[in-house]
Amino acid sequence: MATVLIVDDSRTSRRILRTMLENHGFTIVAEAEEGEAGYLKYKELSPDLVTMDITMPHMDGIESLSLIKHANANAKVIMVTAAGQKEKMVEALKRGADDFITKPFDENEIINAMTRILEK
């Protein structure tokens, strides 16, 4: 089954994502609380998918996405966005984001996005 790295500064968001994904057979290989730690975990573990929150302290999700895509252009990264982040979403697309999921999380939306990206 697919392996996933969750990068998000919100403990609650990480817990919700983990539960939803595990319920659908995904394996969470690690969690990170900010972008640089997420990038290092990506390099260490090479997960099939990354869920990347945009707004985080220290290094944000846009910067971390850039580093991951630079390390592996085929990395699959799904950005996690909140309402009112259109500019950030455009920037993430430019830097190679594969898809977006929005908070509050919708289980069907997330699983559909994950499945679609893995089939690409």
32-71 mask for Mg ion (x: CB under 5 A)?
---------------------x-xx---------------
Q: Are 40 and 83 in contact (CB under 8 A)?
A: no
The least distance separating Mg ion from the CB of residue 80, rounded to whole angstroms, comes to 8
DSSP state of 25: T
The least distance separating Mg ion from the CB of residue 10, rounded to whole angstroms, comes to 5
Q: Are 23 and 47 in contact (CB under 8 A)?
A: no
CA distances for 101 relative to 9, 45, 82, 105, angstroms = 16, 23, 9, 7
The least distance separating Mg ion from the CB of residue 63, rounded to whole angstroms, comes to 13
Q: How far apart are the first and last CA of the chain?
A: 16
Q: Are 43 and 75 in contact (CB under 8 A)?
A: no
Options 3-11, 36-44, 69-77, 83-91: segment touching Mg ion (CB under 5 A) = 3-11
Q: Is 98 in the site for Mg ion (CB under 5 A)?
A: no
The least distance separating Mg ion from the CB of residue 98, rounded to whole angstroms, comes to 19
Our CB check for Mg ion shows the closer of 53 and 98 to be 53
What does the block give as tokens for 24?
A: 């659908």
Residues in contact with Mg ion by the rule CB under 5 A = 9, 53, 55-56
